[in-house]
Every structure is written in C-alpha cells, then in structure tokens.
Amino acid sequence: MNHRQRVLTALRHEEPDRVPIDLGGTMDSTIMAVAYKELREHLSLETGSTRVADVYQHTALVEEDVRQMLGVDVWTDWLKRT
C-alpha cells in the first residue's frame, strides 16, 4: 500500500496495512524545533541548522531524510516553497 492509499483507506474508516503517519503535513501536526533536533540525533542524521516553520510556535520544517526513515505518509512541500 502506498502513502496515498494508506491515508485514503484510513479516511474511509477501513483498515490500512498500518496506521498512517503525519509529521509536518500541516503547521499543527509538525514537531517543535528542539525536539526535531533531538530526533535527528536519535536517528543518527546530521543535525546542522533546523529550519523553523513558525517563529511563534517554534516548529520545525521536517526534511526528506527524516520522512523517509520514519515512513511518513503525510507531508507538505514547505521546504520547496521557502
């Protein structure tokens, strides 16, 4: 099942192969910048500078390498727009 099929299956209240993962799909479903830095360290990824999506909430822009490692199903193209 691909990402889109998994999410649409869950939205139809049917059972997908696993629960869809949303990390950074919206400004409200992202991760705090400090926690994101620690997540990257835990995943043994480079921890350069974290790009912040919202200065007031101090949320991070989730990068492709993190999405790939975690199998994230929902994301946005914020990184391409900024």
pLDDT digits 0-9 by tens, 64-79: 999 999 999 998 775 5
pLDDT at 82 over 80: no
Place of tokens 């989730």: 62
* Residue 48 pLDDT: 83
C-alpha 22/C-alpha 50 separation (Å) is 19
- Across-strand partners of 54? 59
Distances (CA, A) of 68 to 23, 42, 56, 75: 11, 15, 27, 11
- Whether the predicted model's global pTM rises above the 0.75 cut: yes
Tens-digit pLDDT profile for residues 26-48: 878 889 999 999 999 999 999 88
